[in-house]
Amino acid sequence: MLALYSNPKWLSVARATVEHLAEVLGFPVEQCRSITRAVDEALTNIVRHSYSNRLDQPIAMYFRRTQHRHDGQVQQGLEILLCDRGPAVDPSKFQGRPLEEIRPGGLGLHFIQQAMDAVEFTRKGSTNRLCLVKYLAHGSSVL
pLDDT of residue 105: 57
Q: 51 with 103: CB under 8 angstroms?
A: no
- Give the other-Cβ count within 10 Å of 62's Cβ: 14
Specify the pTM: 0.88
Task: Enumerate domains of the chain plus CATH numbers.
Answer: 2-135 (3.30.565.10)
pLDDT of residue 57: 98
Which residues of the chain fall below pLDDT 50? 104
pLDDT of residue 73: 86
pLDDT of residue 69: 87
pLDDT of residue 100: 65
Q: 143 with 137: CB under 8 angstroms?
A: no
Q: Looking at residue 63, what DSSP letter applies?
A: E
